[in-house]
Every structure is written in C-alpha cells, then in structure tokens.
Structure 1
C-alpha cells in the first residue's frame, strides 16, 4: 500500500514539474506602488510551480526556491512619498518629462547590469517573458534577444501610446484620458485638453523615450528592430481594469482585464489600532494619499479644513500621516507613517475612505465595499476619480475645491446608509467573475507560452493610418466626384454648343438666299 501511495505521489510531482514554465519578469521601473501589485502576480506564478526570474529594484528578502532575483536595487532612489499635492497644467507637463527621464534611466540602469547582460549572452531559455508596460519599451529588446513570447502587464489604466499599438479605439468623447478629468463624459473644454495632451505625451514617447531606448540598446546589441514593432508583437496585455469600476471599453481579445488581483485577505488588527477602530461607536473613516504623494505638503488651510470636518462628524478618523504635528484628541484621530491599509479597509467598522484615487487603493476599496471620497492629483488618479464617481463607488472633491463645506458634504453623502448599501452591491458585482483575477492573469500567461507561434493582435493594430482615417476611400470618392463633375460639365457645354451651330447654319442660308435675290 505504501509503495502505491509513493508511486502516485511521484507521478503527481513529475506531472507538476513537466508543466512548470521558465518565466522571466522584467520590471525596471523603481516605483514602489507599481511593484507591490506585480509582486502578488509573480508569487502567484511561483505558487503554481513555475520557475520565475525577476529583474527589478525590489528583490525578495526570503524568496521561495523557484523565485530568482536579478537585483537593480541601489542604482536609483526608490520613488516614495516625494510627490507634492499639487494639480495644474504645469504638473501634467512635468509628468510627461518625468516619464521620459525615468524611462531613459530605467533602460540604462537595466542594460548596465552585468547579470542582465549575462542572461542575454547565455541565451537563457524562457517559455514566456512578462514585461511592465509603463514608461519604456526597453524590455522588448531583451525579450527579442531571448526569443520568447511576451506578455505585457500594467498596474493602472492604459497610457496614451498603448491604444494604437493594440488596435484599441480611442475617441476623446468617451474614452477616459490617463492624466485628465472628465471620465467617459467630458465637456468640450476637456475634450480639447485631451487632444492637446494626447499629442504631447505621444510625441514625447515616440520621439524622445523610444529613440533614447533604441540608442541605448544599440550600444549593446546591433540587431534590435524598432521597439514599436516589437511592442506590437506582444501576445497579451494584462491591464489593471475591471468594467465594474472602469466601465465598458472596446478592448480586443488580447487585452485582458485582471484588475484587483493584488488585494489580499484582510487580517485581524492588533494593539492600539485594533482598540481604536473597534472602540468607534459610529465607525471610522480612513485617510491615505498613497505611497507616492506626501500628505504633509497639503497647505495649512486645507489641513485645517480636514480637521474641521473631523470635528463635525461623529466618526473616528485614521490618517496615514508622516509626522505627529496634528493636534487632535487621541480618541478622535489615529495617525501613523505606515498603516495596514487592506486590514483597515477590510474591517467592518470602516465606513469610508478619503483617498487620492490611486488604482491600488481604489481596487482595495471596491473589493471590501468601502465608499470613497476621491481627491485625485496626478497620473491616472483623475481618470480613476471619474471612474469612482461614474461607477457609484464614491464622489470626487477636486483639490482646488477642498474646503470644509465641500468635504463635509462629500462625507455625508458617502456615509449615508443608502449610499453605502449601493457600494456593497457594486462590490458584489466586482467579485462576480468566472475566475479570480489572479487566476485569470496566470492563465493567460501560461496560454501565451503554450501557443507562442500564434498572433493574437487585433487587425486594427496593423491598419495603416490612411486606412484608419478613411483617407484612401475619401480620396477615391473625391476623385470620382471630380471626374463625374467634369464629365457632366463637358456634356453640358456640348449640349449648349449644338443649337449655336444650327443657328449659324440657318443664318448662313438666309444670307445666301438674300444675296441671290439681289
């Protein structure tokens, strides 16, 4: 009996090993908030038994046996808590410059790394390569050298340059723009903004970032095709969307919505935080502006407006705050420079979430059915804020409009029991999927490895611009109309000229008769 059990266990282990894939993950961006999302996916691949090698600035401290880090740590300062709370056209223009400069840095740092170059030089065999799609396409060059199918990953909504390469329709009238307000119902002014900034961001990306990355790659490898061509060969893009939150989009089948896979099960709170939140008879409101935006950069007037709202509401407040400068009674406000956000949002006593509308926190809020007051600042936050409002998850307060009256009205709306019940229903719809989002992400990664010789790109991605904008059809119709007009004009002139000839002949006959009489 023991021998039968041993043989059965061995056969399962052999099948499991045979199905294991060799996967390379390339995540050269040095932003904490992005990698926190990707880490959950990468460890999910490891838990499925795959061998995973990861190029990133965030090596695992205690990695599983089948997780291998190629560390870029220490080459760039990690981006965290250094962005001011400021919203203006200047901020948006600077965002474009930031993306350009960091994309260049990320490519240079990655290619300078000896372990990365050794990986390419050794022609390591990978079944699939997963690359972050954000501020650089440099990773496609490495994937090309390793001759493996590519799956793209995002921790946010689409960037402006992703629509064309994936054949996704983009129309300013109904497609939210990454960096701007308006959502799917923009005003005329907001549509004009979108056109201008769409040209700005795509111009920077195509003519500065991609050219820079191409030149950097050329310093090491002399056979890298144009990066935009390599990007179009991507098998799938796993985008951090779900239509319950972000609305229905016209995505082709190779763009897969996996929004929310990073949200873990909430754990029990402990210590003073547990005592504070469970002792709140009227519940608590959680405030956090994420890992990138520095809350202490709020003006004193706006901080005071938030404090005044606290005094007007019966709820207790928990605020992710970097120092202890807030003078509020301890039974009203709990602060900390680090807080277990998921555990707080998952606690039944948490009634609302005041946030900058980052995609990570937003998906955590909808996961646990917590209404939001969104105050978007930069990046994808304006688009996320619009999605929060349009989906019914919460309301927005723009930073320029942040005062006691507006914020108090926003909180009273989301704290209303009817509103909170609606958010619970939205959360139920969010969870109602045929597969868990993490399982979906892993499945399509494995699918790309199993069917590496197939192309899943939408035909729209290969359509030339002149066909996309019907220029050839309009040209044919214009020429045809021109020819028809000319022919009709010629026939008309001929018809008019015939009576004139007859009249001339008749006059000639009359003249000849008259001359004979004379």
Structure 2
C-alpha cells in the first residue's frame, strides 16, 4: 500500500502540472519590441500544451493547432521607425501625452475589432487572461467580460502610473523615474524633476483612463471601473532584474522575469561573417533601436560616430539605413537590419553603442558585452542610468557627444578591466535557481491552479489618510494637545492654590499685627 500511495502521489503531482489551460492573451500595444518579448513567453505556453487565443497586432504566419490568432493588424500601423530625435522637457511632455493617446487609440482598435466582438458573443470559457500592462487598460475590461483571472505582463519595468494599483511605493530620492535620468543617486534637481513629472503622468493617465472607460461602456456594456479591475490582477510579470536595475520594493505578486527573450545565438553568415572575422582588433556594434529614425540624428552626432570609426582600430557594424553615406567599407559594415543577438554573441564583438533600450541591454548583459548608452526617449534615460550604476557600461548624453568625448567613452568600456567587470556581472545575471522563462510559466500556471487565493496587496485598499498615517498623526497631535492643556490646567491650579495660600498668610499676619 505504501508504494501504491507513493506512485499515486507522483502521478497526481505530474497530472497537476500537465493540465491544459485555455488562455486568452490581450496585447493591444502595436510596438514590435514589446511583442518580441511577449512572443517568447506565449510560445513556451504553447510548448507546454496550453491552448492560446492571442489578440495582437502581430499574427503568426503558421500558427500551431493550439494557437488561435485574433488579429488587430488590419486597423493599425506598427509603432516602429516613427520618432524623431529630440531631447527636451517639451519632448517628454509630448511623448508621454502621445503614449497615452496611442493607448486610447489602441483601445478603440481593440474593442471595435469585428473578430474581438465575435469572440465576445461566443462567450468562451478561459482559465486565464494575460493582459499587457502598458498604456491602456481596455484589455482589463475585456478580461472582465471573459470572467477569467488576470495575469499582467510587462515587456519593460512598471510604468509610473501603474505603481499604485500594485501597492508599489514611489519615492523620488531612490526610485528611478522611467523617463528621466539620475538612476538611484539623483541630484536635488533630479528629485524635484521626478516629483513633478510623476504627478503629471499620473494626472494625465487618470483622465485617459476615464475616457477609456467610456469606450469600454460603448463596446462591452456594464463593466466596473477599470482601476478596480486592475487592483484584482493576480500577478504581474515584470521584465527587470535587480542585477541590472538594482533592488526594488516589490510586493510578492510582482515577479521579475527579465531575460527570457534572449535566444541561443547562431553563427553569422555571408559578408557580415567575413567582415567580423577580418577584424584584427575586434568589432563595435552600433544600433539605436527600431523606434527612432536614424536619419533624424543631429549632424554633430553622426560626425562624431564617423570620426570614431576612422580614429579607432576596431571595425564597426552600424544599423543604419542611409547607405548613401560615403564610408570606408573596410572599417564599417552598414545595414538597415542586422542579426543583433548573433553579433553580440560573437567573440570578436567588444562593445555595443546603444540607445539604452531594455531588450538590447538585457541581450548585451546576457552575452557579456559592455554598453555605451546614448539615451534618446522613453525609458532609455532610466535604463542608461542602470547600465552605468550596475557596471555594465557608461552613458553619454546627446549634448555631451563630440569627436573627443565619444572616442574617450568607447575606449573606457574597451578597457580589459572594465570588460572583466562586465563578465562578472554577466555571470551573476545567469546565476539563478530557476530560469526566467520557467519562472514566468510557473507563476502563470500557479494562478490558474489557485485562482481564488488573495494575491492583492493590502496597501491598494488602504485609504490615503491611513497610508500616510494622517490618522495616527492626528492621535499624536491630540495626545500632545491634551497633555499641553492638562499641563496648563495644572499650572493654573497650582498658581491659584499659591495665590489662596498667600492671601491666607497675608490675612493671618494682618490679624496678628
């Protein structure tokens, strides 16, 4: 009987982890860099045997039988190569405002889509809803209609306007603000800057969410306030890790899973292979991501890059679409698309001159390549600060770039001792008890196995006066005031007593005289 019980237990545990789940993934953002991360996670869920319905702008060309696409691509344009280089507070205000504007537009595209509407009418039964947590909450309304427990997913760090729903404290003195620099050691000006910008972004998100609520009511009918649905998100899978971004004060239902999108590298081929292998002094890779038009870079920055190419012994690989630029083909390889992973993994790649995008930073850390971070927009200033503070690289601002400063910065990260520090950091990055992808899948399946657990951080339900201890402060003040009043009364009674005694003494002396 003992052995039968053991066998039964083993099979029960195995069966528990092999249950096929019906999952809907709601990914309304039309940014390819985000979907690159999310796609790896979704594919692993497929590989584990789960059935997926994926609502996104990026339908699969040949999906497997357990993958059902609900495409939003016909009604949108991929958010890519669309922004101009500028650095200013005005740009920040416009970018953050437009980010939420794009969120409202994504909301309209999502909810008005005929395939989505048909899906709603079918009333499918889902065990789990995976909802992107970025610049729109309309996916939460859709998940509510499906009556499924929600797992949030983020292809970057937590956006500033989402902190409160997860009970994450924000303090400008040590918590980076995603859209500006300063890292975890901000100056007085940067702390002031963060406090103002944090208030601004939360303010505009509040009104953006109210407008989205109207769209949700239009297409989905009666749905609770989106922020109340958001507070019931079971878990958030956030794409960061303390080795790169430093320690954070996260509650238990926020799980760090950064790094799972990095695939095994393949061998470079063709002309690129010949170019790299012919580099006696190694290569430096340059890429500023998919969002910024490289043609919009200021002339002084382009000139500084070209000067560095000619002044340094290394060869350069530059992701740039302007092939008309006259450059020495023996020193620089130019293409509008490059196999970034394969380049970073190559033993002759010595450094990465990057815009500070999170995906690129994770890939460079994975393959132990130092970064020169040149932040342009979005979360890149915060990422660049993390890159520098962690020791993965150094950062250089646009206004600092000259022929001399760029060469000096590149030489700094090419120093053997600097590269050795990056190697040690990379070893720590890889040293995990469970891989990032297995962590993400485990906790996703955990929610499906235990949907009725209380995952919610208590702080999200605490009134603001309790959170800031205003009621306790009032009690302290009341105690102090009571003490002061009692002291005044005691002193007054003491004086009265002495006055009466003095009068009696005076009267007694008068009678004696």
Q: TM-score, normalised by structure 1?
A: 0.94
* RMSD over aligned Cα atoms: 1.9
Q: What SS does structure 2 have at the residue aligned with 1:423?
A: helix
Counterpart residue number, 1:361 = 360
C-alpha distance in structure 2 between counterparts of 1:510 and 1:241, whole Å: 88
Counterpart residue number, 2:176 = 176
C-alpha distance in structure 2 between counterparts of 1:202 and 1:54, whole Å: 29
2:70–2:115: 8 Å Cα contact kept in structure 1?
yes
Gaps spanning 5+ residues in structure 2: where?
1-10
Deviation at 1:43, TM superposition (A): 1.0
Runs of 4+ aligned residues of structure 1 deviating over 3 Å after TM superposition are 14-18, 502-514
Deviations 1:471-504 (A, max 9, x none): 1111100011111111111111121122323444
Counterpart residue number, 1:133 = 133
Counterpart residue number, 2:343 = 344
Deviation at 1:15, TM superposition (A): 6.1
Q: What SS does structure 2 have at the residue aligned with 1:43?
A: helix
2:142–2:220: 8 Å Cα contact kept in structure 1?
no
Counterpart residue number, 1:148 = 148
Task: Give 1:311-460 correspondences, 5 Å limit.
Answer: 311-460=310-459
Q: What SS does structure 2 have at the residue aligned with 1:171?
A: coil
1:287–1:317: 8 Å Cα contact kept in structure 2?
yes
Counterpart residue number, 1:82 = 82
C-alpha distance in structure 2 between counterparts of 1:372 and 1:64, whole Å: 38
Q: What SS does structure 1 have at the residue aligned with 2:220?
A: coil
Deviations 1:250-281 (A, max 9, x none): 11111111001111111111111111111111
Counterpart residue number, 1:480 = 479
Q: Does 1:91 align with 2:91?
A: yes
Counterpart residue number, 1:100 = 100
C-alpha distance in structure 2 between counterparts of 1:388 and 1:507, whole Å: 85
Counterpart residue number, 1:304 = 303
Q: Does 1:50 align with 2:50?
A: yes
Counterpart residue number, 1:66 = 66
C-alpha distance in structure 2 between counterparts of 1:274 and 1:305, whole Å: 26
C-alpha distance in structure 2 between counterparts of 1:212 and 1:315, whole Å: 53
Deviation at 1:154, TM superposition (A): 0.7
C-alpha distance in structure 1 between counterparts of 2:279 and 2:16, whole Å: 49
Deviation at 1:462, TM superposition (A): 2.6
2:286–2:318: 8 Å Cα contact kept in structure 1?
yes
Counterpart residue number, 1:4 = none
Deviation at 1:175, TM superposition (A): 0.9
2:355–2:375: 8 Å Cα contact kept in structure 1?
yes
Deviation at 1:122, TM superposition (A): 2.1
C-alpha distance in structure 2 between counterparts of 1:458 and 1:16, whole Å: 27
2:253–2:455: 8 Å Cα contact kept in structure 1?
yes
Q: What SS does structure 1 have at the residue aligned with 2:74?
A: coil
Counterpart residue number, 2:8 = none
1:17–1:49: 8 Å Cα contact kept in structure 2?
no
Gaps spanning 5+ residues in structure 1: where?
1-10
C-alpha distance in structure 2 between counterparts of 1:181 and 1:486, whole Å: 50
Q: TM-score, normalised by structure 2?
A: 0.95
Q: What SS does structure 2 have at the residue aligned with 1:395?
A: strand
1:34–1:155: 8 Å Cα contact kept in structure 2?
yes
Deviation at 1:17, TM superposition (A): 11
Q: What SS does structure 2 have at the residue aligned with 1:129?
A: strand
1:25–1:55: 8 Å Cα contact kept in structure 2?
yes
Counterpart residue number, 1:5 = none
Deviation at 1:506, TM superposition (A): 5.2
C-alpha distance in structure 2 between counterparts of 1:502 and 1:251, whole Å: 66
Deviation at 1:105, TM superposition (A): 0.6
2:112–2:219: 8 Å Cα contact kept in structure 1?
no
Task: Give 1:182-193 correspondences, 5 Å limit.
Answer: 182-193=182-193
Which segment is superposed worse, 178-187 or 74-83? Answer: 74-83
Q: What SS does structure 2 have at the residue aligned with 1:161?
A: helix
Q: Does 1:120 align with 2:144?
A: no
